[in-house]
Structure 1
């Protein structure tokens, strides 16, 4: 296979797609190099290890969601309900755009108990995700109730991906969105 010139960002993008599809432990450095059109030895020019690459992939996903998804929660030009719907719909769209589902959820399940170095990056992502959801809910509920609803929406979303993978049916994701909206509409501000 000829060596191709690729950017570090292209390597991260290809790795993201492979890690989403195959998982961290089932993806080898040879798989990653092949996906980028590189020889395995050339791959180390970009990243010293698979762990270093995975950490950068996780940070890239976090940066993307912070700039393109979580930011929706803070856009005061929309009503809180509309922000919630837009944010969750965008999150579902992004995760469904490529095979494999939610990378952060996948990696949390696969690596949290065996690879401590990824935990801070994943934790920061989920903390920011929870904060964004709680901010939206705080437009209608007190801080405690907003946090509880945010946690429930986040946990349901991640759990829905398990069912999507088991059944090949994406209706679970739409159900999460619908239930989040129903919960938002359920009560008056407390």
Structure 2
């Protein structure tokens, strides 16, 4: 029998993993409740419907990534190499330490034609990712070049995640991370 006492944050954490691995369409509220070890009706205590749940999942992922990216990039006690190491660790935690790749990219691909309402949060995630890298690059490049390189890095990482999933081989993302390192620390 499922337990009832679960915090909203615990529910969101469990749901993130399921959505990352199975996608939105393949994750029913019953599946999600089972994953969270709660009754399906308990979801409705926190969330009006599945769409509201997904919106909060995306907001939580965006908030986590943005907070941790800014914590590294804006730390004046870290040199560029230490900042790069922090970003590498964040990328590993977000994309390599969990099966399924990038929950934002997965959701964008899955909902592109049927439900673009999630795009605002997804765009915000990618914009924050790009902006963090751009700020890191501005010490050695013009603002325009920093923006270009930051966009290139994010595109490369997301492509690496996709190929990692298709081929079930982390080398594609690891190669993208190495290329990011070569751009940031030439």
Q: TM-score, normalised by structure 1?
A: 0.90
Alpha-carbon shift at residue 152 of structure 1 (Å): 0.5
Distance in 2 separating the partners of 1:82 and 1:42: 43
The number of aligned residues is 186
How do 1:3-22 and structure 2 match up within 5 A? 3-22=3-22
Query: What is the match of residue 48 of structure 1?
Result: 48
Query: What is the match of residue 63 of structure 1?
Result: 63
Distance in 2 separating the partners of 1:82 and 1:152: 21
Query: What is the match of residue 91 of structure 1?
Result: 91
Q: TM-score, normalised by structure 2?
A: 0.92
Say whether the 8 Å CA contact 1:89–1:177 is kept in structure 2.
Answer: no
CA RMSD across the alignment: 1.7
Alpha-carbon shift at residue 3 of structure 1 (Å): 4.5
Distance in 2 separating the partners of 1:44 and 1:73: 38
Alpha-carbon shift at residue 134 of structure 1 (Å): 0.5
Alpha-carbon shift at residue 98 of structure 1 (Å): 1.9
Distance in 2 separating the partners of 1:82 and 1:10: 31
Say whether the 8 Å CA contact 2:58–2:104 is kept in structure 1.
Answer: yes
Residue ranges of structure 1 left out of the alignment (5+ in a row): none
Distance in 2 separating the partners of 1:77 and 1:108: 36
Alpha-carbon shift at residue 178 of structure 1 (Å): 1.3
Distance in 1 separating the partners of 2:65 and 2:92: 12
